[in-house]
């Protein structure tokens, strides 16, 4: 599955406009990366963007602190999952932004109403899982569990004293 985004939103209004283009699971993954990039620039706008993706379960103060801690000094992290981003080019992806989403190789291991997808980055040896939850009454997908996406990856070569 592939999602193509022409431009990473620079503010909440641009994010909301981009978010109206669909709520398919793979698109939620791409929008989450956009929301993380926004969060890194503007915590309030990023929080609002992530809450749009989380639906009926907004971020808690603990969740916001977790995001701040994981993104601190790592503005490159949200873009590291897009095609063309590598440690050697400081995780600058190709434009338009292309996200390749990998289907769960073991969907039978996950409970009904949930979906696990995987995102690959050149900064890690294996794809990282992201979990979505479906709202039964509407069939919409929402962001549920994403901590692996925020796990450390190789630092950009330009920042690596051993490179």
Question: How many Å apart are CA 127 and CA 72, to the nearest integer?
Answer: 22
In a domain, 163, yes or no: no
Query: Does residue 158 lie within any of the structural domains?
Result: no
Range of the domain at 136: 2-153
Is residue 89 situated within a structural domain? yes
H or E element that contains 70 = helix 61-71
In a domain, 161, yes or no: no
Contacts of 52 (CB under 8 A, 6+ apart): 15, 16, 19, 35
Residue 24: inside a domain: yes
Per-residue pLDDT of the chain (163 residues; tens, 9 = 90+): 999 999 999 999 999 999 998 889 999 999 999 999 999 999 999 999 999 999 999 999 999 999 999 999 999 999 999 999 999 999 999 999 999 999 987 877 778 899 999 999 999 999 999 999 999 999 999 999 999 999 989 999 988 888 7
Residue 82 tokens read as 């897009």
Is residue 149 a part of any domain in this protein? yes
- Going by their DSSP bridges, the two strands 2-5 and 128-134 should be labelled as unpaired
Residue 160 within a domain: no
Check: pTM over 0.75? Answer yes or no.
Answer: yes
Split into its structural domains, the chain has a count of 1
Cα 111 to Cα 18, 117, 123, 134, 145: the distances in Å are 30, 14, 29, 11, 14
Q: Which residue has the tokens 């790592």?
A: 74
């Amino acid at each position: 599955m592939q999602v193509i985004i022409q431009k990473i939103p620079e503010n909440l209004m641009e994010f909301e406009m981009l978010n109206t283009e669909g709520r398919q699971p793979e698109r939620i993954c791409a929008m989450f990366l956009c929301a993380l990039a926004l969060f890194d620039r503007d915590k309030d706008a990023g929080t609002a963007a992530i809450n749009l993706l989380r639906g009926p379960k907004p971020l808690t103060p603990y969740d916001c602190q977790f995001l701040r801690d994981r993104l601190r000094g790592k503005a490159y992290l949200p873009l590291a999952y897009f095609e063309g981003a590598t440690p050697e080019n400081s995780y600058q992806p190709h434009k338009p932004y292309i996200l390749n989403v990998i289907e769960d190789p073991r969907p039978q291991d996950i409970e009904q109403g949930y979906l696990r997808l995987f995102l690959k980055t050149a900064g890690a040896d294996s794809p990282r899982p992201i979990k979505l939850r479906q709202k039964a009454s509407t069939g919409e997908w929402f962001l549920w569990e994403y901590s692996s996406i925020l796990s450390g990856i190789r630092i950009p070569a330009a920042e690596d004293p051993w490179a």
